[in-house]
Amino acid sequence: MKSDQLPTSRRMVLRIAAALGATTTFGLFALERTGSPARPAPPAPPGAAGPPAGPRLGAPAGPRLAPSSYRLQPMTAYAPPRYRRALPPVRQRPFLRVSGAGRSMVLSFDDGPDPQYTPAILRTLREHDVRAMFFVCGEMAAVNQDLLREMADDGHVVGNHSWSHPLIPKLRPSRIRDELGSTSDLIERTLGTPPLWYRAPYGAWNRHSFEIGAELGMEPLAWTVDTLDWKEPGTGPIVRRVLDGAGPGVVVLSHDAGGDRSQSVAALRTYLPELLAAGYHLTVPRR
């Protein structure tokens, strides 16, 4: 027998020892990475899909990751991507009415929130289970954030009506950006989401306001029926203007701040149940 030849039994022993050594080495690597011994996966049935793509036993190993990087890798690899809401197009004019099926109308209130009048308007809307839009001024919302939250909690839409209610066309673009941007920031900090709608004070729009509003993610909404409640004409005239102007898609403009709004509060108590009795659905636009 030559010196480089071994009996069959001895060769078998050496093969078994080598196999055990390889198994022990693989178990140590698995323990180092996971903290517990790795268990082999059961064989897949014929025709079944294979395991997810990943390192295979015997495949060339990639660069070694530090323990912290290895633990973070699954989170960054499988986390869903974050998408930003698409910005609206730059309009050349505001929306004057809303589209919708049936006899839908929108009630909107400007210039608040005001602690003297806004709570009464919110109570009336809540009694009739009606949603409305509130275009708030930043300087009013900053000192009445509890009312801002109450609006949102009741399901009303909170829109941007600038910070200090200026005449927009007389402002430089940088000032328009400050007026709209500051109000949007305050609403987002208070409610968790930025406003999606804005209304120019006095209904005075210009190209810069449309461009900046779109950059901030807002659509411009004007109105169809002006109650002229800001003139304080009396409760009766306000009610008549709303009922005479009612129709599908109509947007009604009223105010909950900026002066004595007791007539606006009283008028809402009268015309709201009449609109509902006439079959109108008081709603808010969706985006």
Domain spanning 104-282, CATH class: alpha beta
pLDDT of residue 36: 39
pTM over 0.85: no
Closest by CA position to 201, among listed 238, 164, 173, 233: 164
Q: Which residue has the tokens 């808010």?
A: 284
Distance, CA of 133 to CA of 146 (rounded, Å):
17
Distance, CA of 229 to CA of 267 (rounded, Å):
9
Q: Which residue out of 156, 161, 165, 255 is catalytically annotated?
A: 255
The first and second tokens of residue 88, run together, are 């609206």
Residue 110 catalytic? Answer: yes
Q: Phi first, then psi: what are they for 119, rounded to 5°? A: -60, -40
Map out the domains of the chain as residue ranges: 104-282
Do 164 and 137 meet the contact criterion of CB atoms below 8 Å apart? yes
Distance, CA of 137 to CA of 260 (rounded, Å):
17
Closest by CA position to 176, among listed 157, 154, 195, 201: 201
pLDDT of residue 84: 63
Q: Which residue out of 110, 111, 229, 256 is catalytically annotated?
A: 110
pLDDT of residue 4: 46
* 107 to 14, 74, 84, 124, 125: CA distances (angstroms): 89, 49, 29, 12, 10
Residue by residue, pLDDT tens for the chain (287 residues) are 444 444 545 455 445 444 444 444 434 333 333 333 444 444 444 444 444 444 343 444 444 444 443 344 444 444 455 556 789 999 999 999 998 768 999 999 999 999 999 999 999 999 999 999 999 999 999 999 999 999 999 999 999 999 999 999 999 999 999 999 999 999 999 999 999 999 999 999 999 999 999 999 999 999 999 999 999 999 999 999 999 999 999 999 999 999 999 999 999 999 999 999 999 999 999 88
User: Which runs of E-coded beta strand occur in 95-238?
Assistant: 104-110, 133-136, 157-160, 197-198, 219-220, 225-226
